Structure 1
Amino acid sequence: MPLLPGDGGAAVRRHCEDVLEAGPAPLPPSALARARYELSDLVDDLQGSGPGPEGTAIAVETWRRTAELVLDSNGCWRGGGKWLMRELIALDAAAGTAWASRLDVGLAAALAGDTALLQQAAEECLALAGGRLWEGFHQEAPIDASH
């Protein structure tokens, strides 16, 4: 049974497909700067981390932030959980890249104590997005910063 009268919503469906196909709007400059800054910080933390709970947390967060910035830098939709990896796989298929496998292997190695591959992937992602960001980065505090 059609959800809408007439063509059953074909025009709405077509519009939704067009929006999905077009991809998300580019990140605003302030959001891109924040993502670059945060990933730069994580890469430094990853370099100094070792095995154990803290190293695991840093590696997982570096993996996630790198994946998100790769997708953002390529005009792709993000996902959460398994969908983040599925979006990386779709990007790789469309662009002939290997981000999904590189990040998967890099995370596995980092969890085993060798952070070099994950660091390399994060550094390449940062280069794609404009490079590491430290100097000159600032962020306005929310008006109600009591929380």
Structure 2
Amino acid sequence: MNPNRLEPIEAAKQFISIYFPYCQGAILAGSVVRGKATETSDLDIVVFSEDTHSSYRESLIFSGWPIEVFVHNLVSYKDYFESDRKRARPSLPRMIAEGVSLKNEGILEAIQEEAKQILATGPELWSVETIKIKRYFITDALDDFIGSNNRAEELFIANILAELTCEFILRTNRRWIGASKWIVRSLKEYDEAFTDQFVEAFDLYYKTGQKSEVIEIVDKALYPYGGRLFEGFSLGK
């Protein structure tokens, strides 16, 4: 961390006082709140202002800190809650539920409770048809992975296979998913021991080219739902 810049909460409070002095509420979220900040971490700030006509996101530098600010009015955040719930990536609910209050004119408690309820309820359960579709596309990627002898192509197939399999494991167990670093974080929240096995299998492949552990772990994920799927599958018929 840069020793010359303000502490995260103090910097965030000063930012709010200058840029959003008339807002009704503001929350500092992200890695600095979770105690997992790195040298490149920014300040994620959610602002609630009744003067805001439409939601927006903006990236700024303030007092040496990169800041991502997410601005909502007192209603617009609900649409984002619903969108995040449907896509099973609770970005805004998580920020609000885990965040630290920077300013509160009596509105944050109810909004944070909404966010916590969404997180506790979890995403929608996948339908049988959705599971079949996902099994097919995982099988397709796995077959490509097994049959490929082109290292460059394999690397990208492996990336897709890892992401599809993580999504399948989490959604079939009605757990939230994520993107980028939140993929493995979401998997760890579900089952830390399994996550270790998953990461080790793919890490071994990336280091040595050995595919067997990856194939085994993907098959293990598919097995409770009927295993690989190719023959008889149709879409849009």
TM-score, with length taken from structure 2 = 0.53
- Distance, in Å, in 2 between the alignment partners of 1:74 and 1:100 is 14
Residue in 1 that maps onto 2:173: 74
Is the CA contact 1:51–1:113 (under 8 Å) kept in the aligned structure 2?
A: no
Residue in 1 that maps onto 2:125: 26
Task: Say which SS state the counterpart of residue 230 (structure 2) adopts.
Answer: coil
Which amino acid counterpart does residue 85 of structure 1 have in structure 2? V
Shift of 1:2: 4.6
Name the one with the larger helix percent.
Answer: 1
Greater RCO, 1 or 2 (C-alpha within 8 Å, sep 6+): 1
The C-alpha deviation readout for 1:2-55, integer Å capped at 9, x for no partner, is 537873231221121011111101113332211110111122222212361011
Is the CA contact 1:60–1:107 (under 8 Å) kept in the aligned structure 2?
A: no
Is the CA contact 1:24–1:77 (under 8 Å) kept in the aligned structure 2?
A: yes
Shift of 1:59: 1.3
- Distance, in Å, in 1 between the alignment partners of 2:113 and 2:198 is 34
Identity of aligned residues (%): 26
What are the residue-to-residue correspondences of 1:1-147 with 2, within 5 Å? 2-3=24-25, 7-50=106-149, 52-93=151-192, 98-111=193-206, 112-140=208-236
Which amino acid counterpart does residue 143 of structure 2 have in structure 1? D
Gaps of at least 5 residues in structure 1 are: 142-147
The C-alpha deviation readout for 1:101-133, integer Å capped at 9, x for no partner, is 122111122222101111111001011333222
Task: Give the CA RMSD over aligned residues.
Answer: 2.1
Which amino acid counterpart does residue 198 of structure 2 have in structure 1? L
1:114–1:51 CA distance, 2 compared to 1 (3 A): farther
Is the CA contact 1:73–1:128 (under 8 Å) kept in the aligned structure 2?
A: no
1:129–1:99 CA distance, 2 compared to 1 (3 A): farther
Shift of 1:99: 2.6
Mean alpha-carbon deviation: is it higher for 71-80 or for 38-47? 38-47
- Distance, in Å, in 2 between the alignment partners of 1:139 and 1:29 is 14
- Distance, in Å, in 2 between the alignment partners of 1:67 and 1:29 is 18
Mean alpha-carbon deviation: is it higher for 23-32 or for 44-53? 44-53
Q: Which has the larger radius of gyration?
A: 2
Runs of 4+ in 1 over 6 A off after TM superposition: none
1:72–1:130 CA distance, 2 compared to 1 (3 A): farther
TM-score, with length taken from structure 1 = 0.82
- Distance, in Å, in 1 between the alignment partners of 2:137 and 2:191 is 24
Task: Say which SS state the counterpart of residue 76 (structure 1) adopts.
Answer: coil
The C-alpha deviation readout for 1:45-73, integer Å capped at 9, x for no partner, is 22212361011111111111111111111
Which amino acid counterpart does residue 104 of structure 1 have in structure 2? V
